Structure 1
Amino acid sequence: MLLATLIHRASLPCPQVGPDQAARLLEEHYGLTGALHSLGSQQDLNYKVDSPRGRFVLKICHGDYAAVELQAQHAALNALQAQAGVRVPRVIKALSGEELLTLTLDSQTLHVRVLDYIDGQPLTHQPHLGREVIAGFGDLCGRMSQALASFEHPGLERTLQWDPRHARELITHLLATLENLPHREALEHVVGQVENRLRPLADHLPWQAVHMDITDDNVVWQRDAQRHWQLQGVIDFGDLVHTWRIADLSVTCAALLHHAEGDPFAILPAIQACHAVTPLHHEELQALWPLIVARAAVLVLSSEQQQRLDPDNSYLLKNAEHEWEIFQVATSVPFELMEAAILGCVGQALAPIADQGFAPLLPGLVGREFALIDLGVLSPHFEAGNWEQAGIDQRLLQDAAAVHGLAASRYGQYRLSHTQPDSAHEPKTFALHVELHVPQGTSIEAPFAGIVRPGVNGELRVHSSGANVRLWGAKALLQPGAAVLKGQVIGEVQGPLTVQLCRTGLPAPLFCTPSRAQAWQALCPSPAALLGLACDAEPELDPEALLARRDASFARSQKHYYVDPPRIERGWRNHLIDMQGRSYLDMLNNVAVLGHGHPRMAAVAARQWSLLNTNSRFHYAAIAEFSERLLALAPEGMDRVFLVNSGTEANDLAIRLAWAYSGGRDMLSVLEAYHGWSVAADAVSTSIADNPQALSSRPDWVHPVTAPNTYRGEFRGQDSAPDYVRSVEHNLAKIAASKRQLAGFICEPVYGNAGGISLPPGYLQQVYALVRARGGVCIADEVQVGYGRMGHFFWGFEEQGVVPDIITMAKGMGNGQPLGAVITRREIAEALEAEGYFFSSSGGSPVSCRIGMAVLDVMEEEKLWENAQVVGGHFKARLEALIDRHPLVGAVHGSGFYLGLELVRDRHTLEPATEETAVLCDRLRELGIFMQPTGDYLNILKIKPPMVTSKRSVDFFVDMLSKVLDELA
């Protein structure tokens, strides 16, 4: 009887009621008129109704469904209206006063009802759901479970094809009746696995009324002003039933696998959130993954059957691909792994493997000292990128064994050699084994009684009911299938020996991703007890605790990137590496022009530190050599150098030079610009992104002029220079009228803070002439945009065809060493002497000078300026191609390796896409890229990577950027 009911229910086609017929039903029975739009459904027929009285949903289902089942849904909806936090539709009564109508139409018996419409959108076709949304689904499951915990109704006692209690019967029947079924073997294999795992748990699972369809189809969301998804409500109660409580969460998690991008661990935030609201029993957590797999199998089989019954149902066709994806993700990992992950994410764990009484695996080496080799992210054995060499870990172990006799790796260490640059995926860095270099012929004994099992790739395995030991590099002395006693000799070492301990016989990897490490550790714990060797990696510092320590001692106005920043302790070329071996593409760092970890920088700094580091009042060669090198890069006529520590100090000094030379104090600066944090540099900085009070807190000696932004400024286009110059003329007239002497004009010759926007042609020529005519000096702030980064020219002012009076620079000069400079003419430099001498304690130190010269040498030897031109040109072309594909992309600014991508919501009004930009940057970080917004509206990606950035990295960045823009569409 049960099977017959399931078969009948599963084989019902969608009712045949056209839009015109549905409109007549609505008007006749509900007095509603309006436009009807078909909504997708598998077996019911749903229409959205836009009526003068509001928006509603007309629901039509087969008369085969008992009316009491639909009445149960209405009762639940009415009960939930009073529940806080769970928004559901209202039931709309017909003109007759009934909530449910049973009608006959074209020989079809139909149940008809109308519900309130909840505005929002389902997330079915969103390719990516963030952690917050996934957790939101889980939280909703927990709240719905609470809300329905005491709800009872006779209509809940029904036979439903989606009820997981009947999954085995339904799957078995459909497998037997559906011919030419894709993936039949995989589906058949699943049935037995699910049954074996659920059978011992079924009697321990609590029952209640459950919604059974809290999915991406039946929960609607809307984006808020910050572009984050906000839950609006639950719209379909068609699967309401009395069954296992955990079934609700299993349905939700199965649906979320469609958005997991192949990673089933993506659902864990939903489980955590549900458990936080409605604590789940241990048995429920154990049953959850088998129920998810069963749900996936039922989805694909039911979909296949419905498509054959109703081949014109577009809803079915659209969802079929999603359902196969769910099944493939659900069956991509072992049941044991997901059980460990689910328990671990809520603070529970599998029982540990009993290690009491293990016999030594290598008894002849007990008590001998091993050299434990650090292969982690901070290992001193790794330098200059040598970890990228194939087999580096094994060579380091071999070399250590040659010196010490015995060498071993550490279990549970994140291996630097397994990091993957330019990858959106977590690398498999976590070692679930130990590698040993011991003498050939060393005897291997069974640590416990068991059976010898053969494995692939020369694996030797001893299997027991409670544990397995897996060995590579061992010669077996027993036949496969032989029973062994604890302490019995089973083989001998014939090469580097790899040891892995597992609780089951499942095929465990030797390395796993950081996100799966906790679960795999539960299944494959440390073999230290077998080896008698303290070979476990030292636990990593808790990142949250470390961040709390930073906040408790480091002034919090010194912000860090991201709310939960990864801990970065290593870099190489144009990548930064966290403590778990994840490599992030660095698109932020215009300081490390040569890239991170450059061996020349390390060697030069170490050599000079070993000799001398002091201040510039002492006489040494490096300061003269470096000053000469800088002057050789400057325009003719510039013959004096000041060496300082930073761009802020350079700009501050430039302003003092302008004051001293001109005899005035009044400075012109450009709106939306940033020049530093000292008193003077901050005074001429007007970027409200860096200082929200910038426009209201300028001292009276600072006169901001209109920002010459050719893209979104007051005047647009390449011929706008005269319009912007009028603002300069206006301010100069004000200064003259007040009988005050102009000191100078400071400006980035390429608009760096706005993402590298070129100034309108001729702008600086006209402004410099006006300023000089009034006795002022012209300062080119090249801190961000100069020193070859722009590619086609070394200095930003070269694009404008001008020569400033003072050049300031820093950033890339020292590749991270605190180093800045001011270059000017002798008469300007010596004007400062009237006010006293200038001194910077560390500016121009021997170490800084040697590093500064080494940076110039490497830039030339490695052709980094050429790289900025060639790869930078490719970069800009690829970014510009995004304009035609993604409406959010308004413009691409800059050149070389100083680029700006401006995001706008409307290309005519140029409404800045501030919130979208923030979401995009956070998502890029998840994909392995560091990027941050800039500009006064924080809607610009200021792209300024190390100048060693490769075409491969550029393509990876643009591909991921395009992917995220698709997600935001």
Structure 2
Amino acid sequence: MNDMLTTTPDFSIEAAAALLREHYGLTGTLSPLASERDQNFEVETPEGIFILKLVNAAEPEVESDFQTALLAHVGAHAGDLPVPHIRPTLAGASLARVTSPGGASHRVRLVSWVHGQPLAETQRNDAALASLGRMLGRFDAALKGFMHPGALRDLDWDIRKAGRSADRLHHVTASEDRALLERFLARFSAIESRLATLRAAVIHNDANDWNVLVDAADPDRVSGLIDFGDALHAPLIAEVAIAAAYAGLDHADPIGAAAAIARGFHAEYPLLEEEVDLLYDLIAIRLVTSVTISASRRAHTDDNPYLAISERPAWTLLRKLDRMNPRFATAILRKACGFEAAPGARTVIDWLAANRKTLAPLLERPAATYPAALVPYGDPAHPMTVKSAAQQPDAAQTIWDAYCRENGIELGIGPWGEERTVYAGEMFVSRFIEGTRRTHHLGLDLFMAAGTKVFTPLAATVVSVEIEKDPLGYGCLIALRHEPEGCPPFISLWGHLAHEAMNRLKAGDRLQAGALVGEMGAPSENGGWAPHLHLQLSTDTDLSATEILGVGEPRYLDVWAELFPDARTFGGIAREFYEREGRSHEEIVRMRRELLLPNLSISYEKPIKFVRGEGVWLIDDGGRAYLDCFNNVCHIGHAHPAVVEAMAKQAGTLNTNTRYLHDNIVAYAERLTATLPKELTVAGFVNSGSEANSLALRMMRAHTGRENAITLDWSYHGTTQELIDISPYKFRRKGGKGPKPHVHVATVPDSYRAPADWPLEEHGRRFAESVAELISAMQAKGEGPGFFIAESIPSVAGQVFLPEGYLREVYRLVREAGGVCIADEVQVGFGRVGSHWWAFETQGVVPDIVTMGKPIGDGHPMAAVVTTREVTESFNNGMEYFNTFGGNPVSCAIGLAVLDVIESQDLRGNALAMGNYLMDAFRDMQKRHEVIGDVRGLGLFLGIELVTDRKSKAPATEFARAVSNGARRRGVLMGTEGPHDNVLKMRPPMIFSKRDADHLIAVLEDTFADVARTLG
């Protein structure tokens, strides 16, 4: 102590002024500045303001030289940095040497004054702290490559020496305080060896809030950095940690303050993930160093009360840090620097989005298929929320149940990120931000009845099964670990379950995708809530189930979104549930009436507004997914990626007409005709099934010179007038005018409704007699048939499968009479029947002309006609055939993509297998439901005819329509067809899976039972 007194400079103002004149040639006003070891003066001169420093004589010369060299290096490499810059002596030296009145030798340094207000005297907002980070980043970047022996000194403030704090613990008197420090020292011990592997450099090492200056005119901007007495060579990340430790003192959000500094530093001097991952512990250990050094000094200065007061903010911050989960703090710091909140978090989110179609349903059927509504926890005034907040779950459930009954809701959804007022317990107080609560939901809530079973969408290993007994806690809580191929592991959390799972699952159990996880618990066992599942994901697999935050602070929602990503995809909730856009149903209906043809029909009693298609699903504007078993336009599934890619690629390259040469049209014609019998070799391309049938009629006329048509009763072939004229489904119904003289209608060859005395093996011949009679009548008038046209499986007539031998006999009769035979494969072609590419092949015949549409482009408007060389030669009569869009490069690219998918994925084989599976299920239903008169189908072209009496076969039209609408309410689309609208018609996409089939079967079973109860 005596040595310090003799070596500390003690110059009067007059003596210091004399030194200023002698060594620097400056005069001015000097004012003393506070200093513990050295002597400092503020100097106001005509040339500006400076600081005159007289260095303690006891300071090793190497240290003084180090600071001088450091400032000189910064001045040379970053002269614009607002730090003190050295004013050389008159002799051009960086330092002067003087002798004090006591005889001690002192070094003198004059540096420029840095203007600003100490950060300690400001609000330390995020902008200012980010500016501090940028300042430190620029400063440290300027010191790259700088080294000096003085930077290698042994200093207790070196963060690598923080373990020495353990030797000072005995100066801390309170046992609980020592225990607190021991916890942080234990954490530091676990990472201490890693410090040697990190980037190291000369750093400021003491960016406390008195050494940082802020622009008085712009408090968001740091204007200066001073006092380099503690600078040394240390891990680069220590610079950020030390600044953050001081910035966090008396700060309401100390980790937020640290994040702001780290963000700013990273912008100027990019940090590494392994550095940021240590930041929380380094902030804490700097504070441990500070309080233990203060405690040891206090012990030698008779418990100096000033030291105790200065320690208090550090102790307060240490206690705050101790209450935090270090992994959450690190996630916040990582996110601030642009890294993932947890390593692999974004990959998990992306993997789930890319693989969502492969996930097993979380509920008994896909969650998106249930009519759903938001549970009003986000509305503090809603009665259900009020009841829940008052811990009256039974009352809340009653309110919710009534709402569901009134609105046909089966599933309640509590979304991720929703702000809620129900989180009132002490457990929801923020551990990061003073005076705030955790109010934003970080899971996905699914509300259904107690006992509802929930299943894992992915294979998993059980991590834990436990009971959380806290009021408003989770009740039975299960954590599963998922490790799908190509994805980092992640955790799913299942809360508010029934306790039955405790006896069924244990840690280490393996669950396959679709396996039962548990049941939604009643309030008595789920923490006191209305029955629901709290489903949550965690990309940090080291968090225990009870550590995973179910509710978070709004300030850090971006962090929580990566650490605990929205489970909507994992749970099977469509994005449209949250993002409803466009006009209301009512407005669209009104505008259709005003702007569109009035006879443009709308399906179902309650119309649906679809906004997206995907595979076998159609998704409405409310996010509800419907299993599409009806719209056979999208033959290989809605928005098939191969089709979308082919369309976009070709459209982005070239689209033109067939007057020019292009590979696609001949490539597609070659591939298409290869699927047909060898006689059918020439293709013509158009834009719709109606155009295809019209072109077929032109070819027929050119070949036969006749007009007489033979068509099946209740058939439909297109929208043009000439096609309406040969479609009894149109001309015999309201608005129709009956058959024209050239149109002759044959009996529908419906074996189910054939006379009972006809032997089954004679059905084909007997029904063909109807065609024979029509031909005879024509011939009696000296005429003959021009053509016979029929769908190879009459669809509108009620999914009628032609009896064996029917087409063979009819084709013989027509051809012998000079006519041609046209097979309309618009609905049933392209492998839909599974056993063959084309449905006419099941009859063992070869038509003269085949028309096709709908499935050909998977929703893209294209169609085709394929015919024989003989018919083609007749059609080539000198009149040009041209179709502006038919056969364009884009359409043909799409057609090729559809064929590629059908062939590469063996979708014909799939259609046959799934069709047989469904037919077996329908026949089983037929045994239990008297209303099912007939089941018919081949591949994925299926029909169920409903009758009021199996003997009379009286059509059950009302029942059929009720089933169709009931299935629609349950999320499955099908239609009704036939002369009496009593045949359920199903034509699902060719990619239909067993899971889809099981869903269809379950819905039909439920719907049949419900309609039977309703109609009696």
Length-normalised TM-score, structure 1: 0.49
Q: Which has the higher contact order (CA 8 A, sep 6+)?
A: 1
Length-normalised TM-score, structure 2: 0.47
**Higher radius of gyration, 1 or 2:** 2
